[in-house]
Amino acid sequence: MTDSGKEKSASRRGFLAAAGAGAALAAGLGKAGAQGAKPDPLITDIQDWNRYLGDGVADRPYGKPSAFEKNVVRRDVEWLTASRQSSVNFTPLHALDGIITPNGLCFERHHGGIAEIAPDKHRLMVHGLVEKSLVFSLEDLKRFPGRMNRVFFLECAANSGMEWRGAQLNGCQFTHGMVHNVMYTGIPLRAVLEEAGLRTNAKWLLAEGADASLMTRSIPMEKALKDAMLGWGMNGEALRPEQGYPLRLVVPGWEGNMWIKWLRRLEVGDEPWQQREETSKYTDLLADGRSRRFTFIMDAKSVVTNPSPQAPMLAKGPNVLSGLAWSGRGAITRVDVSIDGGKNWQTARIDGPVLPMSLTRFYVDFDWNGSDLLIQSRAMDETGYVQPTKDELRKARGVNSIYHNNGIQTWHVKANGETENVEVL
């Protein structure tokens, strides 16, 4: 990206030559390898794993990542994870690729800790403005027709919330890691509502969790009937306890708080309930003291995950810039990347499935000549919405809020490869 096309193809050849020197050398192709230095000769010696038998299948009934991946974990920020009354950790976005978040790495946000629920003791009640109140077991729900599998992102409205007043946390795990993207298995929420029979004045739905926080949110009936799901599966297996086992509400494209975990009750009503989580919390206080009401949809957003503060640039020459884009209004249509703080932009290459309301992966293959970079990405979605700058957002909303910060992120790559969270003024 910084070099001419001629230089680019020359050094690309150099890299391929080094990589072709032997499969056993591949592991040594870190920092030095990409620059063409000789790999450590010891790596070509016969190793223990080549000499001794490994574990058998009985040793690992449920597989775990390699011990060498032990740093790829959810992390929290000490001052943000005060207690079990309110806790949050973050997805290690900088260490992942593709669009699916592995189940054990999905960020968690709990308002009363993790409920450990025996599935045979769990029930879902549907009542209120319905023809007949119903109570379902999990097995009842699994017998409903119309089972479906859908990939959706879930983003907490507070994601990037610490960045409203300026660059704050050093790592995309912390600035953008309150998002995950998995394939849900379940049934349309519509199916159980229709089974109960909606009365004509049924306009809103209250969803309640079975955890200690009794999390409750009001959801417009229109959304509930359109694409919301009752989900029990996550990437092919049961939901994890952290994600609401055995049943959670899936509200595609809408703020994470509405995706009630450990879902136990659905009440049908004719107006919103004005619960704590939709009045004093999860509303955006504007500069003039008024609040935006019901900011349900997560607007288009993107972030460069590599390089980023926890994944700095390791070598000059060929590099793969990578990132994620998503929109609560539909599919991502384009992502632009800048390396000069937003003066010039180029369109990134999108790879992998492009699904509505799902994380979407983008890449820019480029050569780094060792100069300072100010890296940004800008997402566009199928409604024509363009991700704004942080200053544009501040002009419209002030800096009181912590929610719905989808402004453009800047990473400063220094000559030594170190990468920092900054803002371009």
Ligand X SMILES: Nc1nc2c(c(=O)[nH]1)N[C@H]1C(S)=C(S)[C@@H](COP(=O)(O)O)O[C@H]1N2
What residues make contact with ligand X under the rule CB under 6 A? 106-111, 154, 156, 180, 209, 211, 213, 215, 242-243, 256-257, 259-262
Span interacting with Mo ion, options 127-135, 196-204, 256-264, 373-381, rule CB under 5 A: 256-264
Tell me which residue has its CB nearest to ligand X: 209
CB of 115 or CB of 337, closer to Mo ion: 115
Question: Should residue 257 be labelled a site residue for Mo ion when binding is judged by CB under 5 A?
Answer: yes
User: Which residues neighbour 148 within 8 Å (Cβ) at sequence distance 6 or greater?
Assistant: 185, 186, 187, 188, 229
Give the Cα separation of 164 and 396 in Å (integer): 12
CB of 9 or CB of 81, closer to Mo ion: 81
Span interacting with Mo ion, options 151-159, 219-227, 291-299, 333-341, rule CB under 5 A: 151-159
Contacted by 215, from ligand X, Mo ion, none: CB < 5 to 8 Å by type: ligand X
The total of other beta-carbon atoms located within 10 Å of residue 351's CB is 14
Q: Are 193 and 224 in contact (CB under 8 A)?
A: yes
Q: Are 295 and 347 in contact (CB under 8 A)?
A: no
Contacted by 211, from ligand X, Mo ion, none: CB < 5 to 8 Å by type: ligand X
CB of 158 or CB of 311, closer to ligand X: 158
Give the pairing type, strands 263-269 and 123-128.
parallel
CB of 282 to ligand X, least distance (A): 8
CA 378 from centroid of its chain's CA atoms: 16
Contacted by 408, from Mo ion, ligand X, none: CB < 5 to 8 Å by type: none
Contacted by 316, from ligand X, Mo ion, none: CB < 5 to 8 Å by type: none
- Helix H or strand E encompassing 127: strand 123-128
Contacted by 413, from ligand X, Mo ion, none: CB < 5 to 8 Å by type: none
CB of 68 or CB of 79, closer to ligand X: 79
CB of 173 or CB of 377, closer to Mo ion: 173
Question: Should residue 218 be labelled a site residue for Mo ion when binding is judged by CB under 5 A?
Answer: no
Buried/exposed 356-369: b ≥16 CB within 10 Å, e otherwise? bbbbbbbbbebbbe
CB of 255 to Mo ion, least distance (A): 7
Question: Should residue 256 be labelled a site residue for Mo ion when binding is judged by CB under 5 A?
Answer: yes
CB of 124 to ligand X, least distance (A): 13
Contacted by 108, from Mo ion, ligand X, none: CB < 5 to 8 Å by type: ligand X
Give the Cα separation of 88 and 242 in Å (integer): 11
CB of 18 or CB of 239, closer to ligand X: 239
Beta strands in 156-300 (DSSP E): 179-188, 204-209, 216-220, 229-234, 237-238, 248-250, 263-269, 284-285, 291-292
CB of 169 to ligand X, least distance (A): 17
Which of 130, 135, 124, 127 is closest to 267 using CA atoms? 127
Q: Are 206 and 216 in contact (CB under 8 A)?
A: yes
Angle, CA of 215, 219 and 221, to the nearest 5°:
145
CB of 381 to Mo ion, least distance (A): 21
Assigned token pair, 173: 């795990």
Contacted by 107, from Mo ion, ligand X, none: CB < 5 to 8 Å by type: ligand X
CB of 91 or CB of 410, closer to ligand X: 91
List the alpha helices (DSSP H) in 128-188. Answer: 138-142, 172-176
Contacted by 381, from ligand X, Mo ion, none: CB < 5 to 8 Å by type: none
Contacted by 111, from Mo ion, ligand X, none: CB < 5 to 8 Å by type: ligand X
Question: Should residue 328 be labelled a site residue for Mo ion when binding is judged by CB under 5 A?
Answer: no
Question: Site map for Mo ion, 81-120, x if CB under 5 A?
Answer: ----------------------------x-----------
Residue 20: phi, psi to the nearest 5? -80, 0
Which of 194, 200, 209 is closest to 129 using CA atoms? 200
The site for Mo ion (CB under 5 A) is made up of: 109, 156, 256-257
